[in-house]
Structure 1
Amino acid sequence: MQLSERAVKEINFQQLFGLNRTIAVVGLSAKSIRASYEVASAMQAYGYRIIPVNPMLAGTYILGEYCYATLNDAAAALRVEGIGIDIVDCFRKSDDIPPIADAAIAIGAKVLWMQMGINNESAAAKARTAGLQVVMDRCIKVDAAIYLNRRTQ
């Protein structure tokens, strides 16, 4: 069994989705046909606040929320509102994850989530050591839907 599979089994998804309400989506696209947009839109519909992070779209609005260039910029702006970023959801290549993990640690995020097809064991280990929960190679939209379905049964 790989470390990532074992770590996922140790995560309490009910607690993860129940306690964490603000999700920074790194690599969020403004194009509705992109997976990042679809996933973020669904999470927003589930009641989560989505914070777009994309340096190419910084200063624009995606899903009605201001888009920031970096996680640090987003965290600083939200601090003014008294809000922290709970989950950092990554739609970037696996090789791009280490600096995102470092930023997630620096801003005090609680969860580092790497979407389907994204794995970076060294970044995951660093994030876990810093106290973050880490999920790799899973879709947050799918797991949230499962959690929400179980909660209503």
Structure 2
Amino acid sequence: MLLKNPDRTEIKEVLDTAKTIAVVGLSPNPMRTSYMVSKAMQDAGYRIIPVNPMADEVLGEKSYATLADIPEPVDIVNVFRRSEFLPAIAEDFLKIEAPVFWTQLNVVDEEVFNRLQGAGYTVIMDRCIKVEHAILK
């Protein structure tokens, strides 16, 4: 499976224009990767909106059960769930019309990638948003 992610110029543009990142699967446990990555992005100035039905609050922000529950626009949906959950997450993503769907390392679904990209969304898979931010800033 070979996905064609946007080039670094486009990824930099995504990161430069985004202000709000909804993080699906953001854990309240500071030892989890989702927490550490999201904290780093929050420290870099992004608004983080947790999407985790098992948490009330993460990183000082109210947590929502689903993407559809978020009452404001989102610039990036960053996914920290296993690949088998991507089709359902993509369905939720399509309901909120955020411009960017981003999955973390080793989270890949070629069908979801092609569907969302074909519908005109920016799709980045199998890349760490924190690493990309550090490289491009």
Shorter-chain TM-score tier? over 0.9
How many residues align? The count is: 137
Query: Are the aligned partners of 2:5 and 2:125 in contact in 1 as well (CA < 8 Å)?
Result: no
TM-score, length of structure 1 as denominator length: 0.85
Distance in 2 (alpha carbons) for counterparts of 1:11 and 1:52: 27
Higher helix share: 1
Query: Are the aligned partners of 1:7 and 1:134 in contact in 2 as well (CA < 8 Å)?
Result: yes
TM-score, length of structure 2 as denominator length: 0.94
Gaps of 5+ in 1: 79-83, 149-153
Shift of 1:9: 2.9
Distance in 1 (alpha carbons) for counterparts of 2:77 and 2:9: 16
> Is 1:48 the counterpart of 2:37 in the alignment?
no
1:72-108 Cα distance to aligned partner (Å, 9 max, x none): 001xx22xxxxx1110000001010011112112201
Distance in 1 (alpha carbons) for counterparts of 2:119 and 2:54: 29
What amino acid is aligned across from residue 116 of structure 1 in structure 2? L
Distance in 1 (alpha carbons) for counterparts of 2:22 and 2:9: 19
> Is 1:33 the counterpart of 2:36 in the alignment?
no
Shift of 1:10: 7.5
Gaps of 5+ in 2: none
> Is 1:119 the counterpart of 2:108 in the alignment?
yes
Partner of 1:93: 82
Shift of 1:7: 2.7
Name the structure, 1 or 2, with higher relative contact order (CA <8 Å, separation 6+).
2
Partner of 1:81: none
* % identical equivalent positions: 45
